[in-house]
Amino acid sequence: MYHNMLRCFSILFFTLGFLFGMWFKDHRKNAYWRVHGLLPLCVMTAILPFLTPNSLLELPIIAFSEGVMMKTFIGSQIENHPFVIFMTSGNYRRMLTALYYVIQGSEDQKEYRRQAVNYGFVVGSFVVGAVVSALLMHFIYIKSIWLITLSLITIMIYYSSEVKRLGLKETNL
């Protein structure tokens, strides 16, 4: 019963976060809105190791933050090709499709190779992140979540520097 309630909470709060992300995106004021969308998850992952373990508190906050983050990065692209930031299935499918066309010797070999490499990096990043996180859990336990915090901070700094470098005011990358 408890685990079913947690599952329902995760779906509910992810949905609420996604809907809030939609509202947040529709009411953005400047090009830094994506950075602001990452802040809840960044703060949560930073403070989580200091909190008393409580799944009924942690799970909804993380699910909500992930919902906001997913909406924040919908439409992300690598060289005009869409990719998904959370689930690897679509990225993996696109990588395999590009590899298939490379092996088959299809028309635009250069483009398909490039797609295969780009999606390969995305899928590889997911795999490496999962393996490193799992290994770190054995040594530093819940503090391994700080790897996510560091990744989010890196993304926010890079995104902000690109917005500033490109002189963007109201549009985003």
pLDDT for 22-78, tens place per residue? 998 888 888 888 898 888 889 988 998 898 888 888 888 888 988 888 887 777 777
Measured from the Cβ of residue 70, the count of other Cβ atoms closer than 10 Å reads: 18
- Quote the pTM value: 0.73
When pLDDT is averaged across residues 145-165 and rounded to a whole number, the result is: 92
Q: What is the mean pLDDT of residues 136-161?
A: 90
C-alpha–C-alpha distance, residues 120 and 167, integer Å: 31
Express as a percent the part of the chain with pLDDT over 70.
Answer: 94
**How high is the pLDDT of residue 173?**
59
Mean pLDDT of 77-96: 76
28-52 as b/e: b if 16+ CB within 10 A: beebbbbbebbebbbebbbebeeee
Average pLDDT on 1-25 reads 90
Whether the pLDDT of residue 85 is over 80: the answer is no
**Given pLDDT bands bounded at 50, 70 and 90, which one contains residue 87?**
low
Q: How confident is the model at residue 84 (pLDDT cuts 50, 70, 90)?
A: low
pLDDT score for 1: 82
Copy the structure tokens of residue 88: 């690897």
Q: What average pLDDT does this structure show over 5-10?
A: 89
Whether the Cβ atoms of residue 18 and residue 71 lie closer than 8 Å to each other: yes
Residue 129 binned pLDDT confidence (cut-offs 50, 70, 90): confident
Count of other CB atoms within 10 angstroms of residue 111 = 15
- Give domain limits for the chain: 2-165
Give the pLDDT confidence score for residue 57 in this predicted structure.
85
